[in-house]
Structure 1
Amino acid sequence: MASSAYSEHPEICVKDNYNQSEFKRRIKVNCDTLKNDNCVAFTAVTHSNKAIIISFRGSEDLEGIMEIIDVIKVPPTAEFGGKAKVNHYFYNAFNALWASGIKDDFLSLKNKNPNYELWITGHSLGGAMASLAAATIATSNLFPLDKIKLVTFGEPRIGDKTYAELHDSLIPYAYRIIHNHDIFPHEPPSWIYGYQHHKSEVWYNNDMAVGDSYVECDEDESKKCSESVVNLNPLDHQSYYNVKVIFANSGCDGWNPYKNKF
């Protein structure tokens, strides 16, 4: 579903992946007026899995470069009632989508499906916004904490130690998937303004082929996972589980081997 957010028609991927599903809508907004950046997210529900889905799209190539420049130049600002500091670009991007309909769609799906789980996902910038969405929903008491499931791919650092600790305390099911030497999870560097990842990291130090091993680090920052490497590669950011993040432009037919069970 994280890759599906890159498609102009993610509803095709939702249908391709789940026999019983309902696509709400895709929302695209300007998330940085100074550079005319666009941010995208969609909402859906899988009745077969009894889960509401919020998926955030990652940045486009040029936007990704500007995103990192912004992160490095500007210190994080206080949010979440002044309890934590997060990067302004990521936070503004998330809030633009949240206020433009993602919040309303989420609440509508929640009210229609009160016993469902909430799945939140995203790749790259989308991973950052997914983390902020989970934190926002949790701190606003909008959903049971034990039913929120956050899984991101190539997520950059979002905020300071206080944000990481707040996130850890509220969302027990949170996993940051990282592919090999992907450079984006190392940005912004931890020595700039005190940025720190929240837990937990799942690191594939390989090609992420079927059956490949991984290391799970159940802490905010660990030298046993991706922080152990120094030769970083932006190409590892563009492919996860041997799938290009833009593969969903043509739909996702045949991608989910478990579809017939759902």
Structure 2
Amino acid sequence: MRFSTFSRFLSALGLVGVSYAAPTALQERAATALSSSELASFAPFTQFARAAYCPNGLKTWTCGAACNANSDFQVTLTGGDGNEIQIYYVGFSPSQNSIIVAHEGTDPTQFLSLLTDANIVLASLSTSLFPGVTSGTQVHSGFRDQHAKTASVILTEVKRLMALKNTKNVALVGHSLGGALAELDALFLTLNLPSGTAIKAVTYGTPRVGNALFASLIDSKVLDFKRINNKDDIIPIVPGRFLGFSHPHGEVHILGPGRAVACSGDDNATDADCQIQSVPNIFEGNILDHLGPYEGISISTLAC
């Protein structure tokens, strides 16, 4: 992915020349080192997120190393074109005893995907898709509109698999824009699946998706939520908080090979090892860290 392409991507988001100073009323929150076993537990989900970038062989789960890493996975639904609709897939993982829903991230060579990211106006969620959510709960309108294109078909397939496989476990994964869609899916499925469904979300290099009310709703409804950031990646600090955006809880920040911390609280870090302190603005970040490696696993079309 060429620097000029990413530069246009950031310009479209309104990020070039903007510094993200932390609000003055930050709450102290601690960063706790993760054990090697905790880090290793993310690997299957990292590979699921990677596979979403590999459409060749996705339907038959023969997409190369990303598919081989979860060799028992049974894909049952695929869709998207990587441009107007991001590639996505749904299936069942016997080893995880879980339904997996994965979304592809942004391919900067695809113009419509780039436009989706650039449409940063906050807008209310659809109450037909997100029942009971108030109009004050707002999200990035581009992400919202992209999510709506696949929400119903994914819900139908998840319900079918839950009955067929006799499981209550559902995991949402994605990287970059795919992570934003997985975050929206996590709330959407929580609100639309039977009580007692165990929803898990693991996202990578995810931009901010919604406002503080949305983040609070994720905090209260999606109890198993992890958003993993790699080193000095700049994407997790955009769109800016000054535009009304906020991350929910669940930050895991990879500092280097075998080294990562879990940051408590939401998007209000004061600990130097948490993302918004280590990358206070886009000029102190490294866009190449967006691609990984996430504990040895790179995620992009180049990693297929």
Report the TM-score, using the length of structure 2 for normalisation.
0.71
Ranges in structure 1 where 5+ consecutive residues have no aligned partner? 31-35, 251-262
Q: What is residue 173 of structure 1 aligned with on the other side?
A: 224
- Partner of residue 93, structure 1: 146
* CA RMSD of superposed structures (Å): 2.2
1:227 aligns with 2:262: no
Deviation at 1:135, TM superposition (A): 0.2
Residues in 2 aligned to 1:237 and 1:126: alpha-carbon distance in whole angstroms: 13
**Deviation of the 1:3 alpha carbon:** 0.7
Query: For 1:15 and 1:55, how far apart are their aligned partners in 2?
Result: 13
Further displaced range: 165-174 or 76-85: 76-85
Indicate which of 146, 165, 188 corresponds to 1:113.
165
Shift in alpha-carbon separation, 1:170–1:61, aligned structure 2, 3 A: same
Q: Distance in 2 between matches of 1:19 and 1:116?
A: 21
Distance 1:205 1:132, change over 3 A: same
Which residue does 2:262 correspond to in 1? Answer: 216
1:148 to 199, 204, 208: 199
Contact 1:164 1:198 survives alignment (8 Å): yes
Within 2, Cα distance between the matches of 1:42 and 1:197? 25
- SS state at 1:223 partner: coil
**Per the alignment, in what secondary structure is the counterpart of residue 66 of structure 1?**
helix
Q: Does the CA-based 8 Å contact 1:76-1:160 persist in structure 2?
A: no
- State whether structure 2 residue 174 is matched by structure 1 residue 125: no
Contact 2:91 2:100 in 1 (8 A): yes
- For residues 47-100 of structure 1, give each alpha carbon's deviation from its aligned partner in whole angstroms, at most 9, with x where no partner exists: 2321110001101114564344321xx23334443251111111111110223x
Q: 1:249 to 1:178 in 2, by over 3 A?
A: closer
> Relative to 1, partners in 2 of residues 1:248 and 1:26: Cα closer, same or farther, differing over 3 Å?
farther
What TM-score results when the alignment is normalised by the length of structure 1? Answer: 0.82
> Aligned equivalents of 1:191 and 1:19: distance in 2?
44
Local SS of the residue matching 1:166? helix
| Partner AA of 1:152 in structure 2 | T
Q: Which piece of structure 1 moves more, 238-247 or 148-157?
A: 238-247
Percent identity reads: 25
Gap runs ≥5 in structure 2: 1-47
Closer, same or farther: CA 20–3 of 1 in aligned 2, 3 Å: closer
For 2:96, the aligned partner's letter is N
**2:233: which partner in 1?**
182
For these two proteins, the number of residue pairs brought into alignment is: 236
Higher strand residue share: 1
User: How many angstroms apart in 1 are the aligned matches of 2:293 and 2:199?
Assistant: 23
Match of 2:50 in 1: 3
1:193-218 superposed Cα distances (whole Å, 9 cap, x missing partner): x2100111000123xx2x2x111112
1:41 Cα offset (Å): 0.8
1:45 counterpart SS class: strand
2:25 equivalent in structure 1: none
In 2, Cα distance between the equivalents of 1:143 and 1:51?
16
2: CA distance between counterparts of 1:140 and 1:21?
A: 24
